[in-house]
Amino acid sequence: MSQRRQSWSLIIHGGCTNSCPDVETQREIQRSLGPVLEKAVSALKAGATAKEVVISAVTALEDCPLFNAGKGAALTIEGDHEVEAGLVDGHSGSYGAVSCVTTTKNPILAANAIIQHGVHCMLVGNPADDKAQRLGLETVPNTCFETASRRAYWESTSRNRQQPIELESGTVGAVALDIHGHIAAAGSSGGIAGKEKGRVGDTALLGAGLFADAKLGVACSGAGDEILRQLLATKIANQCSRGFDIENATRRAVSQFALTGKPCAVVALDSRGEFSMQSTARLFSTASASSNHQPTVDMSCTTYPVLPQHVFFYDQQILAGLSRYPTTRGQALVNLRQPGVHLFSLDRENFLEVMSSIKYLALTLHNFYNVGRCALVSEGNGSFSIVPLHGLEKSWEAVTSNEKEFQETFQGYVSSRDGPAMDSERLAQIAATIRQETGLEKPWNHHFKGDHGDSNLFARLVRGELPQSRVWEDKEHVAFLTPFANTPGFTVLVPREHLTSDIFSIDDAEYAKLTDATYTLAGHLMKAFGVHRCGMIFEGFEIDYAHVKLIPIHSREAHSQSLEPGPMTEIAPYEEKYQGHVTSLNGPLLRDQESLVLDASSLRKMIPYERIQPPRSWKSPQEHARVVLSASWYKNLFIIQDSLFHTSVDFFKLGVNYKYAFVPATTNAISSPIGLGSDSQSVPIDLLGQKTYLADSMQFALEYTLRIEDGLNGVYYINTSFRGEDSDAMHLNQFCHVECELAGDFDQGISVAERYVVSVISSLLRDQSDTIEASAGTTEHLTAFLELYRQHDQNLPRTTLEETLSLPEMDQTCWDYVVPDDKAHGRTITRAGERKLIEHFGGAVWLTEMDHLSVPFYQAYIPSTSRSKARCADLLLGNREVLGLGERHVSSEEVRVALKQHEVPEEPYKWYLDMRDQKEMKTTGWGMGLERFLAWVLRHDDIRDLVTMPRMKGTDFLV
């Protein structure tokens, strides 16, 4: 008897929104999700099926007026309700859905009834209601779906056709994995407010807003028409089938959706119980639990703080873009690129580099928006907000806010507002706590770098002329508690010299010292209070003296079994003019999204881009191993190589259904033997007393492997190859090869090769464009290749050798004889000729029908050319050949003739002849040197820089 599986997982969502419900409504939403989650968890633990659990959860949410599903559904343009729901059982593959339902109380139950009793998968409108009623489901008047808030919203938007109709929040869904290992997904929605009658959304449609099979479950929310157009759930499933884990699969699909600028959110889980929640919307209400994770109810903030089209700067450490939820014009968000890293968890060197970049970006925004200065706000997580301060006078004047606030624990944001005067006894207690960590003792250092008559408050505090709660100091800086703290431990750091309060405008050296001191002090504060984060603010309009505000982030005690909601999200007002304080809160959604795209584009043009350059460390073999570990060039190369490998495997496995061939590193029958047409020198070795060769290619092995199993489309490998010529900018002794052999002719081979290159380039553009741009400076050459391919009806241009040599620009430097001064052995194109040919065609081009004696013997003859022409091609890309392709001889007799013609001895290739006698096949093969291809991708002219662990003739490398 098999043992019952015990792991389970569950995610419930209450929809996403770009608006922000008030705090009490957010709490109500979370309080509503909590009991639904608890009931579902109990059911899963008791052995309920995933299908039963998601039906029950969605039914409960349909009955809750807070959500845009069932009771609480949005109104159509005519002021009534049409609701929809879908259900899919990944175990059985069953699917049922209803849409445009008007009287069925719980549309998810109708969807289930379709599965149980229906002939069809989906019913729409009155027939769906009639079917539900016949099956005994509860029906209600259409007005029962209405709530006062939905009616009021409809009155203020849909009824007034002059105003835009916004997406309603609250679509509900659930995905579950039960203890039997089965997955199910369900969704229900009232659609968008003001929708036309008869509109069918994504929520109920399998593959659009809903998906489940044996391995994956997905439920979506957001801009339903766009989700439907993009088949978002299907895209996530496709990413998973390509081998990506649930987090990366969901992230990749939603990243593509983010380019639309429209809101969407996704919950997904896999058969292992791992789940992912991604959202481009401001808020996404979720509740989740599993056998490995405690129950959690959350109003999750967007996982895409900056949309791709709003990005204006990125490097290895940070990404910066304009906020779509600004509190003022031009507000920018800067995010650390390393996931899960907090600001002060960076090591000191990286922190200082990040702060240097932020200064540069702040000055860029200052100039672009023509403001007096910019402020900086961070909650100490992985995100910063740079806030242009509009409306300032040219000369400094104090600008303050009379609003007070105090947070004993973190409430979801930090602010520069003052708090009420703190009790002196508590202030002293807090100061003592910090000093115990910093080790500060009296007498304090009252040295001040400047005029001792300076009456500025901070100058007097540095000199010790006023009572203070000093907590830390060094030779250059002083830190003290403010008596008007808005949170316990709010600390102000100042230099001993009176510098301008516009921190971003101070000298680079002074700025570096101040940020270095900030890093030190923040570390002390976090240790003193036992917190993991420390907020930071640069502002400077209470006192004109450089100062940094540091705010310990005091989290509430975690209760492992509690579903008590955390801090609620609030919205700060949008202000045209600086109001005397800054906050980490987001503002309302900016209506004019196009202006963000235009501003981001202009900002990108203002920022000079420095390409990452290779260190050329291969020139110093003894130093190379050390340099690689710290060089950004090699880090980027490693990332791109990994992407290239996995994309290649995906293409061959999923795109053309080829099988992988395991091939050895040595061979007795090299594919470029000594003889006419050989394009490389062999690498002979003595392997345990046996004379053999390191393979320059395993093309012959691929031809052999293709014959093992009947009916194969093709075989491929990605492996190391060896060549004996001296290494130079175009050649390596040891390089990486992707090669394939397919059952088919020359044209079929070219088609597959082109599709492969297009697939790889498209994938690199999608996944690694930032990394490529960091080294190449652009990706325009990649997009130009794809455009060239499209312009030629999804083909690349071709030209024969004879056509090429007839071009007027092909002078004597562009070609040569295979054997000098012997015309009979044919001609070959030189490197100069390749470059001119690429220029002539404006990009990639196939050079075909070469003279047979200029290529290796194994290439098939073109009929009616008296064996003078080969059915082969080179793909020229950038300024060189990148991929070589050829159709093979079919019969052993053709091979014998070619061996003799090329003056190659027959004996080492006897097995190659026998193989054809045993199984004749028309095959075509091609191979691409990955280093040459990557040199083109990175717009680099020396492939020796494209190898992390090089092997070069006559050179010893440590790794």
Give catalytic residue positions.
171
Report the alpha-carbon distance of residue 177 to residue 180 in Å, rounded. 8
d(Cα 113, Cα 107) in Å, to the nearest integer? 10
* Helix boundaries (H) for 118-204: 126-134, 148-156
Q: How far is CA 52 from the centre of its chain?
A: 35
751 burial level (CB within 10 Å; 0-12, 13-18, 19+) = middle
C-alpha 631/C-alpha 617 separation (Å) is 10
* CA dist., res. 208 & res. 84, Å (int): 14
- What phi, psi does 804 have (nearest 5°)? -65, -45
Burial class (CB in 10 A: 0-12, 13-18, 19+), 120: exposed
Distance CA 901, CA 671 (A): 16
CB 508 within 8 Å of CB 360: no
Which residues does 950 contact at the CB level (< 8 Å), separation at least 6? 618, 624, 727, 732, 734, 944, 957
Nearest residue to 870 (alpha-carbon basis) of 801, 938, 951: 801
Under a CB-based contact definition with an 8 Å cutoff, are residues 492 and 549 in contact? yes
For residue 374, what are the contacts with CB-CB under 8 A and spacing of at least 6?
A: 362, 363, 365, 366, 386, 387, 388, 389, 504
What would the two tokens of residue 209 be? 């807003």
Q: Residues with Cβ < 8 Å from 543, sequence gap 6 or more?
A: 398, 456, 457, 458, 501
CA–CA separation, 352 and 522 (whole Å): 13
Burial 225-250 (b: 16+ CB within 10 A, else e): bbbbebbbbebbbebbebebebbebb
Identify the DSSP state of 165. Answer: P
Is residue 832 within 8 Å of 814, Cβ to Cβ?
A: yes
| CA dist 253 → 233, 261, 319, 481 (Å) | 8, 14, 20, 47
Closest by alpha carbon to 803, among 832, 753, 837?
Answer: 837
Half-sphere exposure of 596 (CA within 13 A, CB side): 25
Rounded CA-CA distance 753/935 in Å is 18
